[in-house]
């Protein structure tokens, strides 16, 4: 290995990539929140129509409304997971493309270990295999034993002195995305709080 080789990614390109990907995911999140708002507003209309009747608002909410909201919440969380996975894969892809000689012997296990140490998380096995496939005809590190950890540790110590900078770049992009997701969720909060108050009022009346 060349001791002077420094692992780097193109910061500007990564930020542009992150912004573009983030915008696409946020559009989907915004659409999901509009769907959520429509469900909440529909329930509020139903409350007004059935006010002063024997209608069991609590049961209707639990059986009809809440499951729909839970499914939407799961989809929103799924967008965040996909965005995170995309950023992780992009960082690894840049590093591998920029320094194929350093990763030529990396197995799936070694790449997982590397990603976990660099970013605190790692992509799926399927994604890792797609990353190392172009250099897959070279000898791999052993899939067990100390060989994998030693090789990754050596790469960190000799070629990755800017580990913190790459991790901070990843964390910054994720934080920015999560803040925008939170801002979108606030838009439907008023309707949710109104429903919560209606449910509490019916409990008191019961």
Confidence (pLDDT) at 101: 77
Task: Give the span between the Cα atoms of 171 and 169, in whole angstroms.
Answer: 6
Task: Give the span between the Cα atoms of 181 and 80, in whole angstroms.
Answer: 9
Record the tokens describing residue 26, joined without a space. 């946020």
Record the tokens describing residue 19, joined without a space. 């912004």
Confidence (pLDDT) at 138: 46
**Tens digit of pLDDT for each residue in 128-162?**
888 886 555 444 554 444 466 676 777 666 666 66
Residue pair 94/14 in contact (Cβ under 8 Å)? The answer is yes
Q: Which of 150, 164, 152 is nearest to 114 (CA)?
A: 152
0.75 exceeded by the pTM? yes
Task: Give the span between the Cα atoms of 206 and 161, in whole angstroms.
Answer: 65
Task: Give the span between the Cα atoms of 127 and 108, in whole angstroms.
Answer: 10
Task: Give the span between the Cα atoms of 112 and 143, in whole angstroms.
Answer: 11
Residue pair 84/171 in contact (Cβ under 8 Å)? The answer is no
């Amino acid at each position: 290995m060349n001791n002077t080789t420094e692992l780097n990614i193109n910061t500007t390109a990564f930020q542009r990539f992150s912004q573009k990907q983030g915008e696409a995911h946020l559009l989907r999140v915004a659409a999901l929140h509009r769907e959520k708002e429509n469900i909440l507003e529909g329930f509020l209309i139903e409350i007004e129509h059935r006010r002063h009747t024997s209608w069991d608002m609590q049961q209707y909410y639990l059986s009809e409304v809440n499951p729909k909201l839970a499914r939407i919440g799961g989809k929103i969380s799924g967008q965040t997971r996909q965005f995170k996975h995309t950023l992780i894969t992009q960082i690894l892809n840049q590093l591998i493309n920029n320094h194929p000689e350093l990763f030529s012997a990396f197995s799936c296990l070694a790449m997982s270990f590397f990603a976990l140490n660099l970013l605190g998380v790692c992509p799926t096995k399927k994604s890792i295999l797609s990353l190392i496939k172009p250099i897959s005809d070279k000898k791999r590190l052993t899939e067990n034993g100390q060989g994998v950890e030693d090789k990754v540790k050596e790469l960190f110590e000799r070629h990755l002195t800017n580990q913190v900078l790459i991790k901070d770049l990843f964390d910054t992009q994720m934080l920015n995305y999560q803040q925008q997701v939170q801002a979108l969720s606030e838009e439907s909060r008023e309707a949710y709080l109104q429903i919560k108050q209606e449910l509490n009022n019916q409990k008191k009346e019961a």
